[in-house]
Amino acid sequence: MESIAEIRDRIRNTETGCLPELIAEYVDDSRDGVQKLLYSAEKRVSALRAEQERTEKMKRYEHQYEGKGYICGIDEVGRGPLAGPVLAGAVILPADCDILYLNDSKQLSEKKREELYDIIMEKAVATGIGMSDPQRIDEINILQADYEAMAQAVGKLKVQPDVLLIDAVHIPQLERFEQVSIIKGDAKSISIAAASIIAKVTRDRLMKELDAKYPEYGFARNKGYGSADHIAALKKYGPCPIHRRSFIGHFIPQ
Question: Tens of pLDDT along 141-177?
Answer: 999 999 999 999 999 999 999 999 999 899 999 999 9
222, part of any domain: no
Q: Is the domain of 27 the same as that of 145? A: no
**DSSP-derived secondary structure letter, 38:** H
Could you give phi then psi for residue 97, rounded to 5 degrees?
-55, 130
Q: Examine the domain organization and report whether 45 and 124 are in the same domain.
A: no
Mean pLDDT of 55-65: 95
Q: What is the mean pLDDT of residues 27-46?
A: 93
The conformation of residue 210, written as its DSSP 8-state character, comes to H
Which of 95, 160, 99 has its CA nearest to residue 126?
Answer: 160
Q: What pLDDT is stored for residue 253 in this prediction? A: 60
The band of 41, judged by pLDDT with boundaries at 50, 70 and 90, is very high
Residue 224 counted as domain residue: no
Residue 252 confidence (pLDDT): 75
Q: Which domain holds residue 35?
A: 4-56
What average pLDDT does range 121-132 have in this prediction?
A: 98
Question: Tell me, what DSSP letter sits at residue 172?
Answer: G
- Chain-centroid distance of CA 150 in Å reads 15
Residue 8 pLDDT > 60, yes or no?
A: yes
104 in the same domain as 30: no
* Helical residues (DSSP H) of 27-133, grouped into ranges: 32-57, 60-65, 110-123
Q: 242 in a domain, yes or no? A: no
CA distances from 220 to 49, 107, 115, 151, 201 (A): 36, 19, 19, 27, 12
Do 144 and 39 fall into the same domain? no
Same domain, 131 and 26: no
Q: What percent of the chain has pLDDT over 90?
A: 93
In a domain, 47, yes or no: yes
Q: How many domains, in total, are found in the chain?
A: 2
Greatest C-alpha distance within the chain: 78
The domain spanning residue 122 has which CATH number? 3.30.420.10
What is the reported pLDDT for 98? 92
Q: Is 50 domain-assigned?
A: yes
Q: Are residues 67 and 169 in the same domain?
A: yes
What pLDDT does 58 receive? 95
95 in a structural domain: yes
Report yes or no: 92 and 191 within 8 Å, Cβ to Cβ.
yes
pLDDT digits (tens, 9 = 90+) for 182-198: 999 999 999 999 999 99
Domain assignment of residue 232, yes or no: no
CA distances from 74 to 16, 30, 60, 202, 205 (A): 31, 53, 16, 14, 19
Domain end among 209, 225, 244: 209
**Same structural domain for residues 103 and 168?**
yes
Q: What sign for the dihedral angle of Cα 139, 142, 143, 147? A: positive
Residues 35 and 117 in one domain: no
Report, as an integer, the average pLDDT of 60-69: 94
- Residue 139 CB contacts under 8 Å (≥ 6 apart), including other chains: none
**144 located within any domain:** yes
Alpha-carbon distance 177 to 71, whole Å?
Answer: 11
Q: Is 144 found in the same domain as 52? A: no
Tell me the average pLDDT across 229-253. 91
Q: What is the pLDDT of residue 100?
A: 96
Residue 29 shares a structural domain with residue 114: no
> Phi and psi (nearest 5°) for 179?
-115, 135
Helix or strand holding residue 88 (H, E): strand 86-92
79 and 184 in a single domain? The answer is: yes
Are 22 and 113 part of one and the same domain? no
Range in 28-42, 79-93, 120-134 with the lowest mean pLDDT: 28-42
pLDDT confidence tier of residue 251, bands split at 50, 70 and 90: confident
pLDDT at 235: 92
DSSP state of 220: H
Q: pLDDT of 71-92, one tens digit each? A: 999 999 999 999 999 999 999 9
